[in-house]
Amino acid sequence: MAAWDLSVSVEELGPDAPPLKISVTSDLHIGGVILKVVEKSQIKQDWSDHALWWEQKQQWLLKPSWTLDKCGIHADARLCLTPQHKPLRLLLPSGVTLRLRACFSSPVFRCVTGLCKLLNIRRPEELSLLWPVEEKKKKKDKDVEEELYDITRAPLPSSIIPKLANGMPAFFAETPETEAVYKMLAVSQPAPAPETIAKLYRSTNITEKAHINSRWLDSSRSLLQQGVKENDKLLLRFKYYTFHDISPQADAVRLTQLYEQARWAILLEEIECTEEEMMVFAALQYHIGKVSLTEQFVASCPAMDDLDSALQCLEVKMEGESSADDMLVSSMIYTQPKRLTLKGYKQYWFTFKDTTISYFKSKEESCKEPIQQMNLKGCEVAPDVSVAGQKFCIRLLIPGPEGMNEVYLRCEHEQQYSRWMAACRLASKGKTLADSSFSSEVQSIQSFLAMQKTTPSTNAAQTDESINTHSLVSPRYQKKYKPKQLTPRILEAYQNVAQLSLTDAIQKFLQIWQALPDFGLSYIVVRFKGCRKDEVLGIANNRLIRIDLSVGDVVKTWRYNTMRQWNVNWDIKQVAIEFDGNVNIAFSCVTADCKIVHEYIGGYIFMSTRSREQSNTLNEELFHKLTGGHEAL
């Protein structure tokens, strides 16, 4: 057989080096080609990760036993011997950028699986990669060096990654630096400065939201095939909003990153919520931020958990027993606003016992019958505080048969206020002063007061107790309220979450997020067959919805369980779906490739098969069957 010259460039020789020419015959297999190239390059190193990339065809030659003939390679082919794993800058949901080695040769789906294995995120099928938004290059932005955490030295994800007892991949424990990196992955980031939020914020109409979904990478093709280059920046995000089998013990990183993604979605108004909901989210963020600083990320060791809970139990018990002061007494000003006219403030002597406030004319009369007793169980407690004005009022709405009695208690100073406020809050939930949570309640009220004192400095990130409340809400509310106005509102919401543990708080955040009406909808602008105007297709885990672009109203909903089949005509780029009852729809995609829509629908159907599956093994084949394009078939 005639020998001919094949030119292969070798990355290790440098970009300017001319390609190596090796003499081959058409029946030489790929493995043999690599061997020849390596020999000729005269470089001694580990070549095991290298493979041949065929530039013109944009494809990898990954089957070593195939002959050149079988691959269709002739003398005009320009091949490149290059590592399959290359460094990539990966922007995580938390905003942290990691530099790590990713697989550039296998389909994105498998590449993500590898990345997740490396980062200890379970259920990698829920995540995928997408291109970052093209940043407008401004000169001043160039100065800002982005922080980068390099973990390229980690073993390749294809190999077995040994894990420590606490679930942390062993290599993270090798140096203090890498350990710090892992901690950063598993613990939520401090609240961003309001300016950061404002900078990232985009006025988000539904079309803008649809554009985000045009940036997803194709799961069935490799990174290199999709034009990703070494050291490029990609985002890792949760793509499918069905989070299977979350277990706080095993999912430290997964939960944290999910929380971060949800938090940013809220802060940037990628998902809309009401003002009340925003305040709860803000309160939870504040709480999570605070607890993250103190509560060490306890990794998952069941025995440790038991011990922890036992210790906690003991602590609670001891606190409950030792707490000597089960009664508060002090002099305060009392007023009961009647309609229109404000009844004058009057000084009384107050006692607080169990869940009941009693008041007397003076301290001396406190042994007699009180003027009035108020049981606070089930009441509403609201702060009315201005630190600057030295006004510390507690507003109580006490339910009675006739309605709610509105009562104001004016405390003299911060100290008194925080204790009485804490007592009122506990009492409203039916707890007494003896409850172990009393002191922490007092503390959290004090820290909130401290928040009001500090004037928000420009770049204040959450360092200790002090925090700018503007860091916790979206720019809309940053504009609407001053930090001082926000504080009491967040505090109000905070009282319901203040006692949650870190994981509980994160899960609560995720729960409220998932209960939002628009949760889990991915939008694509489409044009339905026979329609002249663009409309929006919303894709959720159980249904497709058709949305009027101008009004934003849901026009129609189709559920997957009534779906018979869906087809993609790749030539005219049209998706056609048939539902029960002979309902057929067809549309072409405007803002995204129809492969993305196809992948979303197939992906959600794949996700729904998981619950029935007992095993934890990922059925990659099924995923590709459901989401692959015409190449896959």
Among candidate residues 386, 389, 396, 454, the one with its CA nearest the CA of residue 420: 396
CA angle, 340 then 345 then 347, to 5°: 160
* Closer of 222 and 432 to other proteins (Cβ): 432
Q: Does 403 bind other proteins (CB under 8 A)?
A: yes
Write down the least CB distance from residue 154 to other proteins, Å: 31
Rg of the chain over Cα atoms, rounded to whole angstroms, equals 31
Q: Looking at residue 581, what DSSP letter applies?
A: T
The tokens 């998932």 sit on which residue?
514
Selected from 402, 464, 571, 621, the binder of other proteins by CB under 8 A is 402
CA atoms within 13 A on the CB side of 72: 5
CA angle, 173 then 177 then 83, to 5°: 80
Other beta carbons within 10 angstroms of residue 293's beta carbon come to: 14
Selected from 162, 302, 344, 517, the binder of other proteins by CB under 8 A is 517
* Span 53-112, contacts to other proteins by CB under 8 A: none
Q: Does 461 bind other proteins (CB under 8 A)?
A: no
* Closer of 336 and 542 to other proteins (Cβ): 542
3-state DSSP assignment of residue 545: strand
Selected from 514, 567, 569, 609, the binder of other proteins by CB under 8 A is 514
Q: Does 432 bind other proteins (CB under 8 A)?
A: yes
Selected from 230, 380, 414, 620, the binder of other proteins by CB under 8 A is 380
Selected from 207, 399, 501, 588, the binder of other proteins by CB under 8 A is 399
Binding mask 210-249 for other proteins (x = CB under 8 A): ---------------------------------x--x---
Distance between CA atoms of residues 494 and 489, nearest Å: 9
Q: Does 552 bind other proteins (CB under 8 A)?
A: yes
Distance between CA atoms of residues 546 and 121, nearest Å: 33
* Closer of 222 and 495 to other proteins (Cβ): 495
Distance between CA atoms of residues 67 and 1, nearest Å: 13
Other beta carbons within 10 angstroms of residue 429's beta carbon come to: 17
* Closer of 12 and 518 to other proteins (Cβ): 518
Q: Does 492 bind other proteins (CB under 8 A)?
A: no
Q: Does 273 bind other proteins (CB under 8 A)?
A: yes
* Closer of 344 and 401 to other proteins (Cβ): 401
Write down the least CB distance from residue 274 to other proteins, Å: 5
Q: Does 605 bind other proteins (CB under 8 A)?
A: no
Q: Does 39 bind other proteins (CB under 8 A)?
A: no
DSSP H or E segment with residue 128: strand 127-130
Selected from 430, 440, 550, 583, the binder of other proteins by CB under 8 A is 430
Q: Does 504 bind other proteins (CB under 8 A)?
A: no
Distance between CA atoms of residues 185 and 173, nearest Å: 14
3-state DSSP assignment of residue 182: helix
Please name every residue paired with 411 in a beta bridge, in sequence order, or none if there are none: 392
Q: Does 609 bind other proteins (CB under 8 A)?
A: no
* Span 278-317, contacts to other proteins by CB under 8 A: 280
Write down the least CB distance from residue 612 to other proteins, Å: 11
Write down the least CB distance from residue 365 to other proteins, Å: 22
Write down the least CB distance from residue 273 to other proteins, Å: 5
Q: What is the SS3 assignment for 437-450?
A: CHHHHHHHHHHHHH
Binding mask 130-169 for other proteins (x = CB under 8 A): ----------------------------------------
Selected from 331, 443, 507, 619, the binder of other proteins by CB under 8 A is 507
Distance between CA atoms of residues 368 and 364, nearest Å: 9
Provide the H-helix boundaries in 323-413.
Answer: none
Write down the least CB distance from residue 454 to other proteins, Å: 28
* Span 520-549, contacts to other proteins by CB under 8 A: 542
C-alpha separations of 274 from 281, 312, 512, 553 in Å: 10, 36, 12, 18
Phi, psi dihedrals of residue 495, rounded to the nearest 5°: -65, -20
Q: Does 378 bind other proteins (CB under 8 A)?
A: yes
Supply 372's token pair.
């009035």
Residues 6+ apart with CB under 8 A from 35: none
Selected from 1, 515, 572, 633, the binder of other proteins by CB under 8 A is 515
Distance between CA atoms of residues 385 and 518, nearest Å: 35
Write down the least CB distance from residue 277 to other proteins, Å: 5
Supply 322's token pair.
């030792």
Stretch of 121-129, 270-278, 590-598, 620-628 lying at the interface with other proteins (CB under 8 A): 270-278
The sign of the CA dihedral 627, 631, 632, 633 is positive
Stretch of 15-23, 138-146, 455-463, 514-522 lying at the interface with other proteins (CB under 8 A): 514-522
Strands (E), 12-117: 20-24, 50-54, 59-61, 78-83, 85-91, 97-103
Q: Does 122 bind other proteins (CB under 8 A)?
A: no
Distance between CA atoms of residues 129 and 146, nearest Å: 20
Count of residues near other proteins by CB under 8 A: 42
3-state DSSP assignment of residue 476: helix
Q: Does 404 bind other proteins (CB under 8 A)?
A: yes
Q: Does 204 bind other proteins (CB under 8 A)?
A: no
Query: Which residues bind to other proteins, rule: CB under 8 A?
Result: 243, 246, 269, 272-277, 280, 354-355, 377-378, 380, 397, 399-404, 430-432, 434-435, 476, 496, 507, 510-512, 514-518, 542, 552, 557, 561
